[in-house]
Amino acid sequence: MTAGTDRESTTVVLRASDLEVRGTPSEVPIVTGIGLELQRGQILGLIGESGSGKTTLGLAMLRYCKRGTRIAGGRILLGGTDLFELPEKEAAMMRGRKVAYIPQSPGSALNPALRLESQLAECVYDISGGERKDRIRHLLDEVALPADDEFLRRYPHQLSGGQQQRVAIAMAFLGGPDVIVLDEPTTGLDVTTQKQVLRTIRHMCAHNGTAGIYVTHDMAVVAELADRIAVMYAGRVVESGTAERVLRRPRHHYTAGLVLAVPDVDGLRGMRAIEGHAPSPLDRPAGCAFAPRCPAVRDGCHAEVPELSEVDPGHRVRCLHPRTEALRPQARATVAVEGRDTVLAVEGLRAWYTKTPVLEDVSLSVPTGSCLALLGESGSGKTTLSRCLAGLHPRYDGVVRLEGTELPRKASRRTAEQRRRVQYVFQNPYESLNPRMRVRDLVAQPLSVLGTNKRNTSVDEQVIEALELAALRPDIAQRYPDQLSGGERQRVAIARALVSRPDVLICDEITSALDVSVQSAIVALLQELQQTMGLALIFVTHNIALVRNIAQSVAVLQGGRIVESRPVEELFEHPEHEYTVSLLADVPRFALH
């Protein structure tokens, strides 16, 4: 199909109409009735809860589907070419050249057996030799990575998670695509690097005329980056418009719920989760899919699926009764921990991988029922410190004590009770969950391994209870990890840690893959467990705004040393170290007005 001759075709680079993706063999619609268009240099933010169909829609833009799904109908015009009319081989040739993709997990984009230079060179198809190497070096510099030969000789496992993600971003832009689908590309990045990468994405899209579809859970990021926003729920777009209109004056009740769930770095409001759960594609209700959770539901909402109608110029909403009132934020909850006994303490910890130390002279304490947040850029030592506490990195000097008892350095030398009491939730659920085990067996595993199945309830009942604690539906228990969204996988990892009822929970970026509503629900859950169970948290995160909503104290690491450690309110209101000041300055801010 040749490009049209009308004026609009010169600016619109991608147009999707009546797009539908179904599951196989069930044939239930996963995304349906999707219509959108992108102009050159424009970035569309695609937001919504996990399972709403964002990634499925993003992949469909490449004429690609995950296992168990198929494109059932519609059209996707890319530069005037209908992707669905092309033979499979020709469509595959366009991926990376005309339309590129950055996955949520950089491990999915990088070949562990190839050096970086070889992988990056594969993405450049139009030039070779010295010109190709110059382009690679330029792109690495654009995403704030070293561009020297030593770095290019590395393998992916020799990079931090943030560095891997930046390499994946560089790979996507190397081919000069017309459209790029970015699936949570800054999830694993600290705020300083995130700011640089977002600036790079914006500059490269504008400079090269590349249109972007930015799939994200981070409303603050999309508020700064996107020109337009499409909000998805249960496989449909329920609201679309300019970023300013959708985020500041949402007309759909679901969008308003997402906005009110965003953490506020200035501490002026609290986080409020949306009640209930998003429906499974197999069990979506009749009429408006959001009706069972909507605070303004009426009888007619259950009878028909609303049309996507224009309520303001360029602002469309799929709702029979759109919002008209202003947003009403709630006050921020606090947890008092003064006077509580210390449950976990670290004294003079020094850790290393080779001869060069990664951590130096780290000392801290965590009272029962409190939350200590660890902040710092990628490579500052946050995860290494967390792994030392859990017995997963034994190469350290110093002392780690659990209620006054020194813990062995290796987890294998700790007693089952000590391991039960200190649980770890890993950053990447794609790597921490065995893909061959059902969720039920994954969550039940600690009960048998640690010998903690001593309650007067069955294993299945304890599994369901843990899943509900992590805001998951009970039917998830019968699925495999690859049948879940990224956010659902992370919540399974949280449920597995909670099932043994630990005293200390080490959370390594556990909310990075979660949408804002579930993130808010998880924070509320952890705060409740702090109060009722005395659960102590060590919270490693790049989301500085979230820290103010969950932590009582903060330790800031730079170059393996704690440069500032103070109560959370003092640190946010009056940071003393220049590094802390710079971190807070780089946080993307999202104000309601």
Strand order in the sheet with 504-508: 422-425, 504-508, 536-540, 371-375, 553-558, 561-567
Query: How many other C-beta atoms can be found within 10 angstroms of the C-beta atom of residue 245?
Result: 19
Average pLDDT over the chain, rounded to an integer: 88
Query: Confidence class of residue 504 from pLDDT cuts 50, 70 and 90?
Result: very high
Task: Give percent of the chain above pLDDT 90.
Answer: 52
For residue 407, the number of C-alpha atoms closer than 13 Å in the C-beta half-sphere is 32
According to DSSP, the residues that pair with 508 across neighbouring strands are 540
User: What DSSP element (H or E) covers 121?
Assistant: helix 116-121
> What is the structure's pLDDT at 7?
34
Q: What would the mean pLDDT of 338-355 be, rounded to a whole number?
A: 89
Strand order in the sheet with 211-215: 99-102, 179-183, 211-215, 43-47, 228-233, 236-242, 315-317, 309-312
Residue range 163-179, pLDDT digits in tens: 888 898 889 888 889 99
Query: Confidence class of residue 443 from pLDDT cuts 50, 70 and 90?
Result: very high
- Measured distance CA(383)–CA(391) in Å, rounded: 12
Contact present, 368 and 505 (Cβ < 8 Å): no
Cis preceding linkage at 25, omega within 30: yes
Residue range 3-32, pLDDT digits in tens: 333 334 458 899 999 999 999 888 999 999
Residue range 38-96, pLDDT digits in tens: 999 999 999 998 888 998 999 999 999 888 899 999 999 998 889 989 998 888 888 88
> What is the structure's pLDDT at 265?
86
Closest by CA position to 317, among listed 374, 387, 376, 236? 236
Better-predicted residue by pLDDT, 398 or 274 = 398
Q: What would the mean pLDDT of 557-562 be, rounded to a whole number?
A: 95
- Measured distance CA(392)–CA(407) in Å, rounded: 12
- Measured distance CA(261)–CA(51) in Å, rounded: 17
pLDDT at 190 over 50: yes
Query: How many other C-beta atoms can be found within 10 angstroms of the C-beta atom of residue 574?
Result: 9
- Measured distance CA(496)–CA(4) in Å, rounded: 54
pLDDT at 320 over 70: yes
> What is the structure's pLDDT at 193?
79
Collect all residues with Cβ–Cβ distance below 8 Å to 153 and sequence separation of at least 6. 115, 116, 117
Q: Write down the pTM of the prediction.
A: 0.82
User: Which of 194-198, 199-203, 233-237, 458-462 holds the top average pLDDT?
Assistant: 233-237
Give the three-state DSSP class for 199: helix
How is residue 95 annotated by DSSP?
Answer: B
> What is the structure's pLDDT at 192?
81
> What is the structure's pLDDT at 160?
74
Percent of residues in the chain assigned helix, strand, coil, to nearest 5: 35, 25, 40
- With 0-12 / 13-18 / 19 or more C-beta atoms within 10 angstroms meaning exposed / middle / buried, residue 336 is exposed
Q: What would the mean pLDDT of 140-154 be, rounded to a whole number?
A: 90
Question: 21-35, 116-130, 334-348, 556-570: which range is least confident on average?
Answer: 334-348
Query: Could you tell me the domains of the chain?
Result: 7-226 (3.40.50.300), 252-332 (no CATH), 336-414+515-586 (3.40.50.300), 430-501 (no CATH)
Phi/psi for 255 (5° steps) reads -60, -40
Query: Confidence class of residue 452 from pLDDT cuts 50, 70 and 90?
Result: low
pLDDT at 271 over 50: yes
pLDDT at 259 over 80: yes
Query: Confidence class of residue 188 from pLDDT cuts 50, 70 and 90?
Result: low
Determine the residue type at 177: P
Assigned token pair, 53: 């169909």
> What is the structure's pLDDT at 402?
96
Contact present, 302 and 286 (Cβ < 8 Å): yes
Rg (CA), the chain: 24
Burial readout 38-49 (b: 16 or more C-beta within 10 A, e: otherwise): bbbbbbbbbbbb
